[in-house]
Structure formats: structure tokens, C-alpha cells
Amino acid sequence: MAELSGKFQLSDADEDNFDKIMEAVGVSEEKRVRGRSMRPTIQYSRNGDDYTMTYITGDGRELAHTFQLGVELDETTMDGRKVLSTYKRDGKNMIQHEKQENGLVIVYEREITGDELHVQISCGDLKAHRVFKKL
């Protein structure tokens, strides 16, 4: 993966399957409907061993997570869920395992290719793909 840095905005998404994943982990219908209408921006930066991911919604909300590879940490998602996340590198990809309170695990596999950030999301048999363009 190219260095995980830069600012990217959602440009293409498999919304149906992403919605099914969000429903499976307990995101309310109201929050899923609102989420489908947004084109969020994600900004990544790195300072030594610390990575920061800032998620910016279309309605002005912002949430930043700072993490180190291989270290499990408590996170709160944009919709308010409490999760445990662990990030690691696998070759050129950044992999995040997000353990939900209900026991399910969402895996985010991020890869930067050219000016795009591709995110493969899986939860059990459910899979979704999202593409973000570099700003």
C-alpha cells in the first residue's frame, strides 16, 4: 500500500451490502438512511508509530481515531457504537478488525491504488466495497 496518508472522499459504494452489514451489527434504520445520503471524507496521517484516521461526515460531524499497529483500542463509531479495533499491515494493505458489542467482527481492508482508496468490508458472509477518490 502506498503510505496511508491523504484525504479521500467517497465516490462509489456498494450501498445495499454495506447497509446489510450495518444492520447486522445493530445500526438503527434511521442512522442507516442518514448514512446512505452522505459522501464522507476520510483523512489519514502518520506521525512515527501513530496513525490518525479522521472521518468527516457530510453534515459536519468529525471523529478522529489515533492508533498503533497491533494494539487493540476502544473506539466509538460515528453512530455511537462502542467497539474494539486492532489495525495491522498485510503487505500493501491496512487491515482493521472491529469487534462489535454483539460479538460480530467487521473487517476493513484498505488499499491505496493511484488516487483511489479501496475499502473491502466484510462481516461474516456479508461483503461490501467502497471507493474513495483522493482530494
Quick one: pLDDT at residue 119? 96
Q: Where along the chain do its domains lie?
A: 6-134
pLDDT at 51 over 90: yes
The CATH topology of domain 6-134 is Lipocalin (2.40.128)
Which tens digit of pLDDT belongs to each residue from 71-121? 999 999 988 899 999 999 998 899 999 999 989 999 999 999 999 999 999
| Candidate from 25-29, 34-38, 78-82 with smallest mean pLDDT | 34-38
**Residue written as grid cell 495491522:** 88
End-to-end CA distance of the chain: 18
Cβ within 8 Å of residue 32, ≥6 positions away = 19, 22, 23
